[in-house]
Amino acid sequence: MTYGGGDAAREPQLDSQNTLKPRISTTTNQFGHAVSRISVTQILEATGFEHSYRRPIDALADVLLRYISHVGKLSVSYANMSGRIQCNVFDVILALEEIASVHGFAGQSDPNHSLSSSGVVLDLWRVVGKEREVPFAGSIARFPVTRSRQVETSQDTENEVEWGHIPDWLPSFPDPSTYTNNSVSNESSVPRKQMERPHFSFRKFFSVNGSDGLAPSGNTNVERENEMVQRNPYLVPPLPHRERQVSDMTIPSERKAVSVFETFAPVIEASGGEIVEERGVISSKRPAVRFRIGVGTKSMSKMLSLRDTGMKEDLWTVKEEEMDSKKRRAEMILKESMEKPNELAQL
Amino acid sequence: MMSGSGNSSGAASTAGADGRHDDDAALTELLSSLMDYTPTIPDELVEHYLGRSGFNCPDLRLTRLVAVATQKFISDIASDALQHSKARVAAPIKDNKSKQPKDKRLVLTMEDLSKALREYGVNLKHPEYFADSPLTGTDPPTREE
């Protein structure tokens, strides 16, 4: 059988290197597809075809694989309907009959026909008995090939008892002493790695000045444990019920309110702005924002009317302390608008 | 064999022991001869794809049965496509003055295959052309022969 490069009536598929490439399935089972392509080619040759193009063979190979999967799925469903998980020869025959029912087979109309002698079986018998046997070209190994997994053995599993009901791939049990209720004295039997206890006390953490409070001390394990029991406020036994002398609370003396000005003085000086302190409100001279206010707006019309009446100060002085800087800016805008009344029409 | 099976189907209605025996004879003979017959589709391939569908059976004869059924299915499609291709070759030429001889090669094309598959419930539609490549309409530089 010869392969054609492509159909005469259709353009062949070109990839980036301008070479013809066969259209293979993009799924992971490319090996199965390649093997089925060989089988399809052999069947076509046995049927009588001398030549073929590549795409029909790929299509038939795909049909072959789908057919096998379809038969398997139907057989399994028939087996499950009968309450079994392993398939029977009659499950397979029923599945084949269902597929062949589209085309029709001998004895299909009889609802009580025996499965052993159904038309499907007879057709297969004809294939096996009479047709020329065409074995598969070459031999293939059993696939998919799975790598033998190496079981990881660690030190923990050396002393482990082998349980029959627990599979090997589960992690090993922890050391029994970690979860059994024993006294604290048997510290030596407990490896330090498994038992993680907090290594710092809160008092120590807060009492250290200017150094990293979280640094662990250089004590040994035993001393550290005793320390923990004594110093750890959470492990201290609760106070008995009685009156206690409580230390007086030290109220911090009244100091000056933190001035924002003092905090940001270097920043302001660096920017080179004027500093005006008004009860903690920092204001520096910012470049004036030029507003183009329309003629129709209320504020402008009001401003103009106030200008005539001479009551403009009342509009702007709401709170003198807070609005001082804003007042200055607004006055600037007002001056400009008064000097150039013609520009008001422009927006 | 066919006549024998016809008699057995008639005898099956009487529910005689002989009838039952004949009914099973076809199947038992088929299963026994399967081990001697090597289907064109390898067993490993069929086992893999049956396993993917959930088919669980340790008996190799069932695997071979499915392989033979698949082989028969594909060969039926191929023979139908062959009929279509022969009909195309045997069609009278429109241009009587053509000096080119009729192409008597039997080539499997997508058209014949899609016609053959349609009867089996498989819709195979092949696009006419691919217009997304700039080389569409020109001869490709390489062609596999």
> What DSSP assignment string belongs to A4-71?
ESS-SSSPPPB-TTS-B------SS-HHHHHHHHHHHHHHHHHHT--EEEHHHHHHHHHHHHHHHHHH
Distance from CA of A41 to the nearest CA of B (A): 10
Q: Per the CB < 8 Å rule, is B145 touching A72?
A: no
Angle between helices A30-47 and B60-90 (to 10 degrees): 60
Q: What would the pLDDT profile of B36-89 be if each residue is shown by its tens digit?
A: 888 899 999 999 999 999 998 888 999 999 999 999 999 999 999 999 999 888
For residues B78 and A56, the answer to whether their CB atoms sit within 8 Å is: no
Helices and strands per DSSP (H, E), number in chain B: 5, 1
Four-residue CA torsion sign, A50, A54, A60, A65: positive
Render each residue's pLDDT in chain A as its tens digit; 347 residues: 554 444 444 444 555 555 445 554 445 578 899 999 999 999 999 988 888 989 999 999 999 999 999 999 999 999 999 999 999 999 999 999 999 888 878 888 888 888 888 888 888 888 888 777 777 777 776 676 666 666 655 555 555 566 778 888 888 888 888 888 765 554 555 555 555 555 666 666 666 555 444 444 555 566 666 666 667 777 777 777 777 777 778 777 666 556 666 666 666 666 665 545 445 455 567 778 877 777 655 555 555 555 555 454 555 545 555 668 888 888 898 888 888 765 555 54
pLDDT reported for residue B57: 83
CA dihedral A140, A146, A148, A152 (to 10 degrees): 170
Q: Which residues of B touch A122 (CB under 8 A)?
A: 2, 5, 26
The per-residue pLDDT for A113 is 83
Using the beta-carbon criterion (under 8 Å), do B37 and A133 form an inter-chain contact? yes
So what's the pLDDT on residue A303? 53
Please count the residue pairs, one from chain A and one from chain B, whose beta carbons lie less than 8 angstroms apart. Answer: 240
Chain B residues inside the 8 Å CB shell of A23: none
CB B42 within 8 A of CB A140: yes
Paired sense of beta strands A51-53 and B107-108, if any: parallel
- Maximum separation of any 2 CA atoms in chain B, in Å: 74
Strands (E), chain B: 107-108
A53/B107 Cβ within 8 A: yes
Residue B52: C-alpha distances to residues A285, B56, B63 (Å)? 79, 10, 13
d(CA B77, CA B88): 17
Question: What pLDDT score does B6 carry?
Answer: 44
From the number of C-beta atoms within 10 Å of its C-beta (0-12, 13-18, 19+), residue B68 rates as buried
First and final C-alpha spacing in chain A: 84
- Inter-chain contact A42–B82, Cβ cutoff 8 Å? no
Side-chain-facing half-sphere of A79: CA atoms under 13 Å: 21
Burial of A79 (0-12, 13-18, 19+ CB in 10 A): buried
- Mean pLDDT on B2-22: 50
Distance CA A105, CA B5 (A): 14
Structure tokens given for A216? 């662990």
The better pLDDT of the pair B23, A90 is held by A90
- The whole-angstrom separation of Cα A325 and Cα A167 is 80
The count of other CB atoms within 10 Å of the CB of residue A118 is 26
CA distance to A262, A265, A283, per residue, from A321 (Å): 20, 21, 12
Burial of B3 (0-12, 13-18, 19+ CB in 10 A): exposed
Distance CA A264, CA A281 (A): 12
pLDDT of residue A8: 42
Hey, how many other C-beta atoms are within 10 angstroms of the C-beta on A127? 18
User: Residue A308: what pLDDT?
Assistant: 54
Residue B108 phi/psi, 5° resolution?
-85, 120
Least Cα distance to A46 among B112, B40, B33, B46 occurs for: B40
Q: Are B30 and B37 within 8 A, CB to CB?
A: no
Cis peptide before A144 (omega within 30 of 0): yes
Which residue, among B80, B125, B43, B79, has the nearest Cα to A39 in the 3D structure? B43
d(CA A212, CA A204) in angstroms, rounded, equals 11
User: How far is A120 from A101, CA to CA, in rounded Å?
Assistant: 10
Sign of CA dihedral B110, B115, B119, B124: positive
Are A10 and B126 a contacting pair at CB < 8 A?
Answer: yes
Q: Among B22, B45, B65, which would you mutate to test the A interface (most chain A Cβ atoms within 10 Å of its Cβ)?
A: B45
> Which among A135, A235, A155 is positioned nearest to B68, based on CA atoms?
A135
Selecting from B38, B62, B128 the residue whose C-beta is nearest the C-beta of A92 gives B62
**pTM attached to this predicted model:** 0.51
Contacts of A50 in chain B (CB under 8 A): 105-107
Q: Which helix (H) or strand (E) is A283 found in, with range?
A: strand A281-283
Cβ–Cβ below 8 Å for A10 and B129: yes
Nearest partner of A55 among B46, B106, B114, judged by Cα: B114
Structure tokens belonging to residue A33: 């597809």
Question: Is the confidence at residue B140, as pLDDT, over 70?
Answer: no
What's the rounded Cα separation, in Å, for the pair A115 and A107?
A: 10
